Amino acid sequence: MILKTFHDFGLSPDVLKAVEGMGFDQPTPIQEKTIPLALDGQDVLGQAQTGTGKTAAFGIPLVEKVSLDSDGIQGLVITPTRELAMQVAAALHRLGKVKRVRTLAVYGGQEIDKQIRSLKKRPHIVVGTPGRLQDHLRRRTIRLNDLRMVAIDEADEMLQMGFIEEIEAILAQAPDIRQTLLFSATMPPAIKTLAEKFMTQPVHVKVKAKEETIPSIEQYYIELHPKQKFDALCRLIETQAPELAMIFARTKKRVDEVAEGLNKRGYHAEGLHGDLSQARRTAVMQRFKQGMISILVATDVAARGLDISGVTHVYNFDIPQEAENYVHRIGRTGRAGKSGVATTFVTRREMDHLRMIEQVIRRKMTRAEIPTIKDALREQQRIAVEQLAKVVDGQTDSDYATWANHLLDKHDPVTVVAAALKLLTKEPNTTPVQISEDGGGFFPNKKGIRGKGGSRGGDWSKDKPRRHDRSAGKGKTFVANKKKGKNHRVDV
């Protein structure tokens, strides 16, 4: 089917000019289905993954409907993380630049006084995280009297983080007559209940994630014992030599341990999770994007919504709890038509969960083995040969010619080159690194939920919330209380 162009949506010249200025040509499936409904004033329940163009799907109608005659807040976007709030606000700023629509992001980690001063400039659209939005509503520095449209992004992620009650409190303060757009990768019962309570006859729009088949990504899994994970990771990095790599771990503590361990082994790595200050998180991302660090270790929530290009390898140090998170993780590589490699570590207990993920992505992963030290050394030798060849190809001076002739007078050329390669070859670093046992992780299966890492698994059929990350210090994670329909905050 030939997709429509943005001209077919009947957008105003200012918005159309901004859209074209952003390089948008044809709408994505979620945009094609959502934009006409939103422009027509209907509530939309959109089911789509990250990377399908959701921001423009709700952003274009949001900017289009803003009236410059009113100085009140007319549009509100609720996002789960600070990074996503900033990313969405930046996109809305570009969409509204020609029309002169003012957009402001508010989130925790930034001085609230600074945000209050910015709010006095009367933005038309506010993008924020649930906690900070509630704070402003309590202070009455944000008023929703003129609100026309609300967009809720990554709703299932906010459910997992325990923000549903905050979202309900925010929507309860919004005018009854308004338009609501809700987007979620999955549609668990709690999200459907939220939609029924706060939306008016929403149209359900569902598109398949463009990464669902992920043809450009080579996908592997390695079955191993938890204690083998870190050494296996280092061997893979040594043999695959990624340009930019992302490693996903389940908890904040694991992120810190893996990042610290990699640095001990001589790699340039940094961690990203919710305990870091906003300034630190921004600095880490900037260094990663600029290539100053080649490895980023992150939790799912911290990495949600990040716009990262150039990632060649993804390593799932801990298998994700949800299949959708797997798609989201490995979708960080193989972008823009480029190839990528994704490797998932799996323990024996997690094999059933791996098969469930394969069913969702409709593709079998290739079994791989942990590279040996000999494999790692061979790869380092190959890299040394490439480095030496580059120096030879780029040699324009004769500074070393005298020394080379001196060596060749005493030794044969093969011996000299072999010695040079030996100096360039980095032998595998085996510095001892201690990674704590993962204290939990609940995986859905046909019979409910099964825990790993111990004999006490979880069970969704029981009402009592169960802590499943006893090793993570203050970064504790809780599962949902199914009976009461409540969720507790999770590790970010």
List, for residues 247-292, the tens digit of each pLDDT value.
999 888 999 999 999 999 989 999 998 788 878 888 898 899 888 9
Task: Report angle CA 29, 34, 38 to the nearest 5 degrees.
Answer: 160
At residue 350, φ and ψ (nearest 5 deg) are -95, 0
Task: Give the pairing of strands 448-451 and 442-445.
Answer: antiparallel
Q: Show which of 154, 178, 206 is a domain's final residue.
A: 206
Question: Looking at beta carbons, which pairs linking 400-407 to residues 24 or more positions away fall under 8 Å?
Answer: none
Are 240 and 303 within one domain?
yes
Are 243 and 279 within one domain?
yes
Q: Are the beta carbons of 107 and 145 closer than 8 angstroms?
A: no
Domains: count for the chain: 2
Residue 438 per-residue DSSP state: P
Note the pLDDT of residue 336.
53
Q: Show which of 174, 206, 238 is a domain's final residue.
A: 206
Identify the CA nearest to 50 among candidates 338, 307, 322.
307
Note the pLDDT of residue 485.
42
Residue 433 lies in a domain: no
pLDDT tens digits along 20-65: 888 777 888 889 999 999 999 999 999 887 667 789 999 999 999 9
At residue 99, φ and ψ (nearest 5 deg) are -75, -15
Note the pLDDT of residue 451.
36
Task: Using alpha carbons, list the distances in angstroms from residue 154 to 67, 172, 476.
Answer: 27, 19, 22
Residue 439 lies in a domain: no
Residue 84 lies in a domain: yes
- pLDDT-above-90 percentage for the chain: 42
Q: Is 128 helix (H, G, I), strand (E, B) or coil?
A: strand
Note the pLDDT of residue 397.
58
Are 188 and 223 within one domain?
no
Q: Are the beta carbons of 66 and 96 closer than 8 angstroms?
A: yes
Are 232 and 282 within one domain?
yes
Q: Show which of 149, 184, 206 is a domain's final residue.
A: 206
Note the pLDDT of residue 117.
94
Residue 405 lies in a domain: no
Are 159 and 225 within one domain?
no
Euclidean distance between CA atoms 453 and 436, whole angstroms: 11
Q: Quick one: which H or E segment has residue 94?
A: helix 82-96
* Residue 46 lies in domain: 6-206
Euclidean distance between CA atoms 430 and 183, whole angstroms: 46
Are 133 and 54 within one domain?
yes
Note the pLDDT of residue 425.
60
Are 89 and 185 within one domain?
yes
Are 299 and 338 within one domain?
yes
Token reading at 365: 């992963």
Q: Are the beta carbons of 53 and 31 closer than 8 angstroms?
A: yes
Identify the CA nearest to 345 among candidates 312, 316, 313, 314.
316
Note the pLDDT of residue 465.
35
Given a cut of 70, the residues of the chain with pLDDT beneath it are: 1-3, 50-51, 208-215, 302-307, 324, 334-338, 381, 383-387, 394-399, 401-403, 406-407, 416-417, 419-430, 437-492
| Overall residue count recorded for the chain in this entry | 492
Residue 179 lies in a domain: yes
Are 226 and 316 within one domain?
yes
Token reading at 470: 């006893």
Are 316 and 195 within one domain?
no
Q: What is the CATH number of the domain that holds 295?
A: 3.40.50.300
Beta bridge partners of 45: 182, 204
Note the pLDDT of residue 170.
95
Residue 1 lies in a domain: no
Amino acid code (one letter) for 358: E
Are 51 and 151 within one domain?
yes
199 CA to centre of own chain = 28
Are 281 and 363 within one domain?
yes
293's CB contacts (< 8 A; 6+ apart) are: 268, 269, 270, 284, 287
Euclidean distance between CA atoms 110 and 124, whole angstroms: 20
N-to-C CA span, the chain:
40
Note the pLDDT of residue 427.
63
Residue 390 lies in a domain: no
Residue 300 lies in a domain: yes
